[in-house]
């Protein structure tokens, strides 16, 4: 469908008093992203960022900071005097900035995050086909009580008779099932012509956008409604409990999509999987796993419970044992991690390599088939293939002033509990004796020792006991 | 309401045969506390501990041990011959000890843990207002079959006609919806006067307290009923599965209460939060987190998954990464912990300080902005501000006989893999070289080394291969 | 019941296209075991492995590899041309191999894993008693639409009129509640006589075993049906989501069984407990615990959250703190583990011993009351009773070529951060100084040191700053 004539306004100025939160309502997170970012993502399927206008107010700076990278416009609504007022502010924005007024305006709520691109497309299409001045997105919840209701001229007729608030419903209108979602399309000229005619002479002293429907109808303009397929799409989150419900629903949908594509996910409702995550077929995800951000996992992997993988790329056939934490790491095919490996950013683990328990890596390359299996800290290191890093061996990359690099050649053996004091290079096939502190480069094939010779004092324990008793 | 004329008896002598457990039934735990402790806590809202009488029998010593700190009285029911018998024992207790008999007696079940203080208050009030000799707490479950039923003289009449067991219900009484909860108020003199008239000539050979209702009514005394708002309040747990159900319900209620106060709790049903825990607004709790005991968490924190925090105090803005275990720790504002930090009792972590992965602390102070980020054991140490503790550095606090203290001054640098052998003091700004064993005090600004010089043997690897082949 | 006249065919050749998986359908796992292994286990309650015939096709080698240890026969169905064709292949197998044809044949589906032994027994009994040529196992699902339906001659009559596919049901047959499970008993001679009469002249070009019912009936043979008690028993898993559902149901049943036997399991639906696991009464299992494989846990233990215990034996009164990973370990009574202990195969932890945080063990004995509480790697070691292993102490069991053993006598003290370079023996009561590298045997009662003396350079930090600035 051609939506080039559409601009989009996103209502993101509200406070969300019922949340009991200092944060702006639209910055609360579900599915790993702020509510607003979900709405912007949906909006971007209809129009490019330079035709999207975020109307901000409460915590405007924070909202702007979070969303600025999307490239949308921000329009400041300094006082919050209702949805009608928000569009009055937008109208002024166009006249002040000289930015081009779009022919049609899609109005979204920044706190209604599950709206689907398909629904927006259908709505915009319908709006154009029907030559409407205003198109209202409706939905049919299990219990409509409390919601503003949309009355059609007759059942099935696209044309709307009125939008009526719960308290104003006549007795025979109480059963009206269709509710107003607060999502609209407008023919912009008709909308803008009527904005100044809105009144704030009501209980809350606000300008209501819903009143536009009556004004347009009075002018003989066409006001129509289209129903969303799923009630979830138009649900706002007014309490934290409601948001948490949306979050769980969104993530379960992601897990189900992956299962349908051949991924085995035990206890799918317990996993936390962001919507962008990709997982190959025949990979098994155990309960309580979290796959976050821009993560890609290959085929035939097994990700064991309590592991959290964020912004990382995992090759085929990788085994991630329990409790691993990965952030911005790359793991080659058939590597084995964990349990309790912690891979921090720029950890590049080679094919068939092993990273074991209580091992932390940061900014390292670990070559093909190399092993660092026990209680290591490896930071700022380039480690070749076939290297064995013994238990407790540590790279000292920080001297209190600068960070330095450790280089270890292919096939080297780094003895247990040794300390590699960077900058230092260990050559191919070199051998570091256990317990050594290494401060100087070690040539290929050499042995390096840096530990004291043992002294033994027979009978010492008995004599100490005598002294201390 | 004035409840000064009330004493309380808590039935806590039973075995709980259906639990298949060696432990006393009332010592099984839900919501982080034994059933009995929940009941005592509710009782204490009506009367002080010195007017509460726990009637104990099975595993009496264990029950006493668990509850003794509350200051309630314990009355031994050596043989368990029914609820009527339990109060006969209590009557004897008063006459033997000369303790003052309360004018009214509230009788609670030690295995009915969800009873609410509000309900007890209403019940006691109603008992006094109505000048009743016996007041029965009732409830209306979805399916009353199997329960003893309370028949009122007429619908809405407070006065009770009879308490009838399921098997004795007439056909037209089978639909009686109101059940006997086993919780009662008595005018004590009337109760005690009738206890000796109870009979054990029945199928189970026990003295039933329910029979008192008939005896009092025969004397023309007033026997009334009051209905609890929630059926949950009067549910006992007869099987472990039922207890686990009560446990989950209690914890979910706690999570919901926190969410309503501005705390974001993802997957609230997966968290384990004790009822006394306090959490500030705008703190985020990720799935699978446990907050136990007397824990207080500030505002704007994030507690990541799989962390367990017990009896600890966490300042504002703290980030607790995945899998941290805290017990009786204090953490200053904006500190960062984890993943996999283990803070044991008397760990005092300063503002902006960092404790990292695979680090254990015990009885330490870590000053403002100090960092111990990798594979450390820090015990019995006083560490100043701005200190950097390198990877794998360890305090040796135990010499096989005594524990000793390590003191580290502000701004000191403790090199990786160094060993601080206590008692030892490292002065302000001192520098410990990586891999050193430190046994003597280091003055402020000094460098201390305690490691061997490196020896390198070129060609050693090739020559070893020759030897071993 | 006497089932000696029965052989069993298990259909395990299918592809499971809807799974989107490269793996054979019957190798997908639920409850910790491949689907096929559940079916073989049920089959073995009716007949020994040498009378069980697995008909394999897709990924035949993988299926064989997984199931070969059970001792069942494998029959290759190279082309998959329907269930009737599978038994034609089996018939040929008998004639080629000369293996004895069983008098009766029970036909099971390799992807229907919840079938209960009791049901199979009842079905076989009924088949014999009724002198049937074919007995069909049926079930009554909540909604039978889509399933093949079994029509009886009259309600309650064991005799079957026909098996009718959904699309062939007459309007008055649409409500027939009884479905064909695909599980059958046959009198083998009658079956085999009719197999060649099956036709593949149908939409899918396959030979259907259901058509045998009509052929037998036409010969005047008795075709009967028996209904399974639970619909779950006959449910196949056609999608991964369905398998995950069966998995959760199976594990919850295991948790409920343990609770009924006196085990306290908080949030039972969150635990992952394999069906063979044994747990003693009065043991408490916290949420998110996994007990896998052939694991036995004693009484009065507490297993804290996020621990995963596989193929291990745990004595009475053991405390396993959070996040422990045990694989093929043995833990003596009243031992304390964790948090975050990792016990790898052949770890034998003595009574009252302690293994603490970030400690890995492999192929070790840790004697009674010994402690290794902080950041240790202990591999290939025999450690006596009453030993204290200090923080960060490590056994170096690998020299790059061979693994060697460390032996530590009773009552020895192994100082923090010491490195025991195997092969090495530390005698009873010997004392290893903190930070030492130990390469030579230490006699009983001796002190061994292997560290450098400390050098201190006053004023070094200030002079370095001068140099570097």
How far apart (Å, rounded) are the C-alpha atoms in residues B382 and B363? Answer: 9
Q: Tokens representing A284?
A: 């098994």
Task: Measure CB to CB from residue B396 to each of C375, C390, C462 and give the nearest one.
Answer: C390
| Peptide bond preceding A237 in cis form (omega within 30 of 0) | no
Q: Does C442 touch chain A (CB under 8 A)?
A: yes
For a pLDDT cut of 70, what percent of chain B falls above it?
99
- Nearest by CB: A394 against B266, B392, B455: B392
Band (pLDDT 50/70/90 cuts) for residue A17 is confident
Q: At A310, which helix (H) or strand (E)?
A: strand A308-310
Spatial distance between the Cα atoms of C10 and C24, rounded to a whole number of angstroms: 14
Mean pLDDT of B263-281: 96
Would you state the pLDDT for residue C309? 98
Residue A259 to residue C244, Cβ atoms within 8 A = yes
Q: Which of A28-32, B379-383, C15-19 has maximum average pLDDT?
A: B379-383
Are A398 and A381 in contact, with CB atoms under 8 Å apart? no
Residues 319-358 (A) with a CB less than 8 A from some CB of C: 321-323, 339-340, 356-358
What is the spatial distance between Cα A249 and Cα A243, in angstroms, rounded to a whole number?
Answer: 10
Predicted local distance difference test score (pLDDT) of residue A133: 97
**Residue contacts between A and C (CB atoms, under 8 Å):** 177
Closest CA to A320 of A300, A299, A310, A335: A335
The reply to whether residue A264 touches residue C244, judged by beta carbons under 8 angstroms, is yes
C468 pLDDT above the threshold of 80: no
pLDDT in tens, B187-199: 999 999 999 999 9
Task: Check if the beta carbon of residue B40 is closer than 8 Å to that of residue B10.
Answer: yes
Q: Is the pLDDT of residue A468 over 80?
A: no
Q: What's domain A6-234's architecture? A: Alpha-Beta Complex (3.90)
Region B84-104 average pLDDT: 96
CA distance A287 to A404: 40
B284-335 pLDDT, tens digit each = 999 999 999 999 999 999 999 999 999 999 999 999 999 999 999 999 999 9
**Model confidence at A466: pLDDT above 90:** no
CB C449 within 8 A of CB C437: no
A268 contact residues in C (CB cutoff 8 A): 241, 244
Name chain B's partners: 3 or more CB pairs within 8 A: A, C
How confident is residue B260, by pLDDT bands cut at 50, 70 and 90? very high
Q: From residue C336, give the alpha-carbon distance in Å to each of A192, A338, B20, C324, C363.
A: 73, 23, 25, 11, 18
Helix (H, G, I), strand (E, B) or coil at A224: strand
Q: How far is C454 from B433, CA to CA, in rounded Å?
A: 10
Determine the pLDDT at residue C109.
96
Q: Looking at residue B469, what is its pLDDT?
A: 67
Whole-number Å distance between alpha carbons of B449 and B415? 10
> Tokens 């399921």 map to which residue?
B166
What local confidence, expressed as pLDDT, does residue A469 receive? Answer: 67
Tell me what pLDDT residue C467 has: 79
CA distance C246 to chain A (A): 10
Q: Three-class SS string for B397-428?
A: CECCCCECCEEECCCCEECCCCEEECCEEECC
Q: Does pLDDT of A1 surpass 80? A: no
What is the average per-residue pLDDT within C234-256? 90
- A244 and B259 within 8 Å at the Cβ level: the answer is yes
pLDDT in tens, A64-112: 999 999 999 999 999 989 999 999 999 999 999 999 999 999 999 999 9
A183 Cβ neighbours under 8 A, 6+ residues apart: A106, A107, A108, A109, A112, A115, A123, A136, A137, A234
> Does position B360 have pLDDT exceeding 70, yes or no?
yes
Is residue A223 within a helix (H) or strand (E), and if so which, with residue range?
strand A223-227
Model pLDDT, residue C168: 87
ipTM: 0.92
Which CATH code is given to the segment(s) C263-448? Answer: 2.160.10.10
pLDDT for position C356: 98
Is C248 in the A-facing interface, judged by CB distances under 8 Å?
yes
Cis, bond preceding B368 (omega within 30 deg of 0): no
| Averaged pLDDT, C351-361 | 98
Query: Which residue does chain C place closest to B438, by CA atoms?
Result: C454
Q: What is the mean pLDDT of chain C?
A: 94
Which structure tokens are listed for A307? 């592991």
A163-213, pLDDT tens digit by residue?
Answer: 998 888 888 888 889 999 999 999 999 999 999 999 998 888 899 999 999
Q: Which of B57, B7, B6 is nearest to B36 (CA)?
A: B57
Please tell me which residue of chain C has the smallest CA distance to B454.
C452
* Model confidence band, residue B14 (pLDDT cutoffs 50, 70, 90): confident
- The domain locations on chain C are 6-234, 263-448
- Per the CB < 8 A criterion, the answer to whether C62 and C110 are in contact is no
> What average pLDDT does this structure show over B338-346?
98
- From the list B353, B355, B387, B391, the residue with the least C-alpha distance to B375 is B391
* CA gap A355, A374 in Å, rounded: 8
What are the chain C neighbours of A456 within 8 Å (beta carbons)?
A: 440, 442-443, 446-449
pLDDT in tens, C108-134: 999 999 999 999 999 999 999 999 999
- State how beta strands B413-414 and C302-303 pair: unpaired
**Average pLDDT in the B400-414 region?**
96
* A374 annotated active-site: yes
For residue C23, the chain A residues in CB contact (below 8 A) are 282
CB spacing of A268 vs C244 below 8 angstroms: yes
Chain C: closest CA distance from residue B466 (Å): 13
pLDDT tens-digit readout, B122-172: 999 999 999 999 999 999 999 999 899 999 999 889 999 999 988 888 888
Nearest to A400 among B264, B413, B460 (CB): B413
3-state secondary structure B31-56: CCEEHHHHHHHHHCCCCCHHHEEEEE
Which residues in chain A touch residue B284, judged by CB atoms under 8 angstroms apart? 29
Place of tokens 């066409």: A222
Cβ contact B447–C431 (<8 Å): no
Checking if the pLDDT of C3 tops 90, the result is no
Query: Measured between CB atoms, does B437 come within 8 Å of chain C?
Result: yes
Give me the DSSP letters along C345-388: TTEEEPTT-EEEETEEEEEEEE-TT-EEEES-EEEEEEE-TT-E
pLDDT, position C469: 67
Express each pLDDT in A339-360 by its tens digit: 999 999 999 999 999 999 999 9
Neighbours of chain C (3+ CB pairs under 8 A): A, B
- Verify cis geometry, omega within 30 degrees of 0, for the bond prior to B423: yes
Identify the pLDDT of residue B235: 84
DSSP B66-135: HHGGGT-EEEE-SS---HHHHHHHHHHHHHHH-PPPPSEEEEEETT-TT--HHHHHHHHHHHHHTT-SEE
Q: In this structure, are residues B254 and B272 in contact, taking their beta carbons and an 8 Å threshold?
A: no
What tokens does C227 get?
């209904």
Over residues A407-413, mean pLDDT? 98
pLDDT of residue B1 exceeding 90, the answer is no
Contact yes or no for B406/B414 (Cβ under 8 A): no
């Amino acid at each position: 469908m051609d939506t080039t004539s559409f601009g989009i306004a996103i209502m993101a100025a509200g406070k969300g008093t019922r949340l009991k939160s200092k944060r702006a309502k639209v910055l609360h997170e579900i599915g790993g992203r702020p509510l607003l970012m979900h709405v912007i993502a949906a909006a971007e399927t209809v129009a490019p960022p330079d035709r999207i206008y975020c109307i901000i107010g409460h915590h405007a700076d924070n909202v702007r900071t979070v969303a600025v990278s999307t490239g949308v416009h921000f329009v400041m609504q300094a006082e919050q005097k209702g949805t009608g007022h928000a569009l009055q502010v937008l109208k002024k924005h166009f006249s002040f900035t000289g930015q081009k007024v779009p022919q049609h305006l899609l109005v979204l709520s920044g706190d209604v995050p599950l709206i689907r691109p398909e629904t927006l497309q259908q709505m915009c299409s319908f709006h154009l086909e029907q030559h409407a001045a205003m198109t209202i997105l409706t939905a049919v919840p299990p219990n409509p009580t409390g919601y503003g209701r949309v009355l059609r001229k007759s059942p099935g007729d696209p044309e709307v008779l009125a939008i009526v608030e719960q308290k104003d419903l006549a007795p025979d209108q109480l059963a009206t099932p269709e509710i107003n979602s607060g999502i609209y399309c407008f023919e912009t000229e008709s909308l803008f012509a009527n904005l100044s005619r809105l009144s704030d002479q009501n209980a809350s002293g606000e300008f209501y956008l819903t009143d536009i429907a009556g004004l347009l109808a009075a002018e003989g303009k066409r006001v129509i409604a289209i129903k969303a397929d799923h009630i979830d799409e138009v649900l706002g989150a007014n309490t934290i409990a409601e948001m948490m419900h949306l979050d769980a629903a969104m993530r379960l949908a992601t897990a189900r999509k992956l299962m349908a594509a051949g991924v085995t996910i035990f206890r799918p409702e317990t996993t936390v999987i962001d919507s962008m995550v990709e997982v190959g077929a025949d990979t098994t995800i155990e309960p309580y796993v979290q796959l976050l951000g821009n993560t890609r996992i290959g085929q035939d992997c097994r990700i064991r419970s309590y592991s959290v993988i964020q912004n990382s790329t995992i090759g085929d056939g990788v085994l991630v044992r329990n409790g691993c934490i990965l952030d911005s790491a790359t793991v080659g095919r058939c590597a084995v991690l964990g349990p309790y490996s912690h891979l921090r950013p720029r950890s590049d683990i080679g094919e068939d390599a092993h990273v074991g328990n209580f091992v932390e890596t940061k900014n390292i390359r670990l070559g093909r088939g190399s092993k660092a299996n026990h209680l290591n800290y490896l930071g700022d290191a380039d480690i070749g293939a076939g290297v064995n890093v013994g238990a407790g061996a540590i790279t000292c990359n920080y001297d209190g002033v600068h960070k330095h690099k450790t280089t270890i050649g292919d096939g080297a053996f780094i003895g247990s509990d040794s300390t590699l004091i960077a900058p230092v290079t260990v050559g191919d096939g070199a051998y570091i004796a256990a317990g050594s502190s290494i401060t100087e480069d070690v040539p290929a094939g050499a042995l390096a020792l840096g530990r004291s010779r043992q002294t033994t004092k027979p009978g010492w324990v008995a004599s100490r006991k005598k002294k201390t008793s």
